[in-house]
Amino acid sequence: MLSKLGVVMVGLSIALPAAAQDGGTPDPKGTEVWTPEPARVVPGSTSRAPSDALVLFDGKDAREWVSAAAPTKAAGWIVADGALTVRGGSGDIQTRRTFTDYQLHLEWRLPARLTGSGQGRGNSGLFLSTGTGNGYELQILDCGDNQTYVNGQAASIYKQYAPLVNACAAAGEWQTYDVIWTAPRFGDDGALLSPAHVTALHNGVLVQNHVALRGESLHAGKPAYRKHGPAPIRLQDHGDAVSFRNIWVRPL
């Protein structure tokens, strides 16, 4: 059966966690979901920053960003031709400022010529909060004509939620993410009071509808929460020359 949002509901297949190996090391394949694949739709257009937004990148400099590994150091990525581009091997970057709840707009572009397949094809990530270190990732990947596990494709909440539809444009074209992020809340004793929630649009198409996250993103094993407060937004260096532009945020 096809739902109103275009997700095939018949034959749902969810990978169960593989048994821990060598005394507790989880197998990443145990958290990969491959079906059902989100239906393909045609993407839309971009937008400009509203008057009350904090501009995180305007095409001129990366002053609002620092090295994630060494926050006292400037971001080591490339600023050229109005874009902020991953310098492979330089490491992730994150905002100088911290945020709780917000609305975020970000545009991203994969290299026009890509090799590889699956997760090895134009990989990066938007971490909506760094959390306690792992963070909460909205995946960036070439999924116009590239199969991978659906909870790891573009616009997925990595290893938690597949996108409602596949709204990817072709590699080399600019694409947009518009996100409403509600941070998790914790009690004084560290207990989770309310989980993080994400609503996200990819190229103007709803792909995550107020989903409740199960914790911070993990490559292997089950996501979990640990107490944290306001945190930076992070962009991932996964080795591919992914570019970003027109990044702005509105704290809520």
pLDDT tens for residues 47-84? Answer: 678 889 999 999 999 999 999 999 999 999 999 999 99
Q: What is the pLDDT of residue 16?
A: 47
Q: Residue 221: inside a domain, yes or no?
A: yes
Q: What is the pLDDT of residue 10?
A: 45
SS3 157: strand
Q: What is the pLDDT of residue 106?
A: 96
Distance, CA of 66 to CA of 93 (rounded, Å): 6
pTM assigned to the model: 0.83
**CB within 8 Å of 38: residues ≥ 6 apart:** 6, 7, 150, 153, 162, 163, 164, 165, 166
Contact between residue 228 and residue 219 where contact means Cβ atoms under 8 Å apart: no
Q: How many domains does the chain have?
A: 1
Q: What is the pLDDT of residue 120?
A: 76
Distance, CA of 157 to CA of 210 (rounded, Å): 12
CATH number at residue 176: 2.60.120.560
Q: Residue 33: inside a domain, yes or no?
A: no
Q: Residue 228: inside a domain, yes or no?
A: yes
Q: What is the pLDDT of residue 165?
A: 97
Q: DSSP label at 35?
A: B
Q: For the chain, which residues score pLDDT lower than 50?
A: 2-5, 7-19
Q: Residue 109: inside a domain, yes or no?
A: yes
SS3 143: coil
Q: Virtual CA dihedral for 28, 122, 163, 69, nearest 10 degrees?
A: 60
- Residue span of the structural domain in which 199 resides: 38-251
Among residues 74, 134, 144, which one has the least CA distance to residue 109? 144
Q: What is the pLDDT of residue 9?
A: 45
Q: Residue 177: inside a domain, yes or no?
A: yes
Q: What is the pLDDT of residue 12?
A: 47
Distance, CA of 123 to CA of 157 (rounded, Å): 14
Q: Residue 88: inside a domain, yes or no?
A: yes
SS3 138: strand
Q: Residue 16: inside a domain, yes or no?
A: no
How far CA 173 is from CA of 26, 45, 48, in Å, comes to 36, 11, 17
Q: Residue 73: inside a domain, yes or no?
A: yes
Q: What is the pLDDT of residue 2?
A: 47
